């Protein structure tokens, strides 16, 4: 009989001191304007590693699933369909059945 509780190695957790800007290069995106943030000289601003992660989270939540052909079906959320659900529990769990392959 297969083991019901499989064992796996826990990945090493790194501290924020070990993260450098070279590992997580990104640029600032202005969600209100819908365009990249520019500095005074008209160049695109480089984002800090934490800000890159925050922007990735926001972009994922703001992206409607299946709205863009460039993304697979596991990227994005189904907010419109979730808000049509009757109760809060249904709204929170809606769309969590996507298959991660």
Rounded CA-CA distance 51/57 in Å is 10
pTM: 0.53
* Domain chopping of the chain, boundaries: 20-55, 63-96
| pLDDT per residue as tens digits for the range 71-101 | 887 777 787 788 888 888 877 776 554 444 3
38: pLDDT strictly greater than 60: yes
User: SS3 for 11?
Assistant: coil
Q: How far is Cα 62 from Cα 6, in angstroms, rounded to an integer?
A: 35
């Amino acid at each position: 009989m297969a083991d019901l509780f499989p064992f796996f190695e826990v990945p090493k957790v790194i501290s924020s001191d070990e993260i450098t800007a070279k590992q997580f290069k990104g640029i600032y995106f202005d969600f209100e304007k819908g365009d990249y943030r520019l500095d005074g000289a008209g160049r695109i601003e480089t984002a800090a590693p934490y800000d890159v992660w925050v922007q990735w989270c926001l972009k994922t939540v703001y992206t409607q699933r299946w709205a863009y052909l460039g993304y697979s079906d596991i990227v994005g959320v189904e907010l419109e369909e979730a808000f049509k659900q009757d109760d809060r529990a249904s709204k929170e769990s809606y769309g969590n059945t996507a298959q991660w392959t």
